[in-house]
Homo-oligomer: A and B are copies of this chain.
């Protein structure tokens, strides 16, 4: 490892460093997807009789990320403002060595934003698909916990204080409700992801010039080949696909961190109602060998402080769109979109691991409930007694109950 490189390997992102989301959204994957879109377009042209079938194997072979120097393309991206420009140059050079005709036909009618937007959607599709799987796995684990602990008494807490008796199963069911809602939202967004294909200014001018009446047919075929929805219109400056991806990822983060918040609290030694799954290599401390840290919930919680700001970045960029292609707002979207996808992917996979291995201590739950004492039943008492008192002509029953409680407490304390 030399210090003379900007390679980032997730050193400051332990939440998602080992997640599929990280791998599925790496620089290399983005580059590969850009190549995939160029290659799919050539395949569509060939199918539509607009390109020589002999070109396709050449282009297909050339569209493998292994052929390209990612670091160089990243550096050269600054020149034109996006990475497609140097990548297309390198691709054309490679294809052109074998087939100048294919090199010239590549990318016909397209613009860099078409390729990069579509590639980012393909990245998002992969990550969101994995995210759904993790949310579903998490939901299964929560459902098991809810069923298993349907009768496990535990104190319910509101504003941090003991409020009423509840069950741990009910709590798990609440967690589940949030996860299911988030999964539904992700699924909805996955169904909506539209191809971006508009040409240099979203007018499809070059494509229409090139393919005439078949321009839309070819576009449809490209969407079908890539498995994306057909857009009503190019969305170069209408960025709802990006804000919805971001919104669904942020909702998934919230559904997970909400669980991690509880676990982080419930594993505190004073409470000790649950424990994180103990796995070799998890939870160690650099200074205190005896300490078992709730690392899963700590890392998941770290997403709760990052996702809101990342979502704000994506929305800020969307709201700043202008002209036929934006002058800076587009370029601001890529990094935060990926960051959100990774935060969601990392949070869901670790929360799933957490739920699947969660150790529950019903005795301790019962002990904490018992420690709360009989006063905890006052909501029920108040609901029943106050109306009776009122019917008996004692209108301020609630206050009297409160006074009685205060007296009891004073007695207990003394």
Contact = CB atoms under 8 A, between A and B. Distances in A.
Interface stretch (A72-80, A133-141, A217-225): A72-80
A352 to B, nearest CB: 14
Contact of A171 (B166, B182, B324, B380): B324
Copies in the complex: 4
Interface string A354-376: 00000000000000100110011
Contacts of A409: 290
Interface in A204-234: 205-207, 209-210, 232-234
Interface in A161-184: 161-166, 170-171, 173-175, 177-178, 180-182
A411 interface: no
Contact of A320 (B11, B159, B240, B261): B261
A201 interface: yes
A342 to B, nearest CB: 9
A351 interface: no
A201 to B, nearest CB: 3
Given A6-B17, A157-B324, A316-B316, 9 more contacts: A7-B26, A7-B70, A85-B285, A160-B267, A161-B269, A163-B324, A237-B258, A289-B398, A301-B329
Contact of A251 (B7, B84, B240, B304): B240
A329 B320 CA distance: 12
B331 A302 contact: yes
Please give me the 3 A-B residue pairs with the lowest Cβ-Cβ distance, nearest first: A301-B328, A104-B390, A100-B395
A200 B257 CA distance: 23
Nearest to A285: B80
Nearest to A52: B391
Contact of A378 (B14, B65, B290): B290
Interface in A12-51: 12-15, 17-18, 22-23, 26-32
A145 to B, nearest CB: 15
B17 A5 contact: no
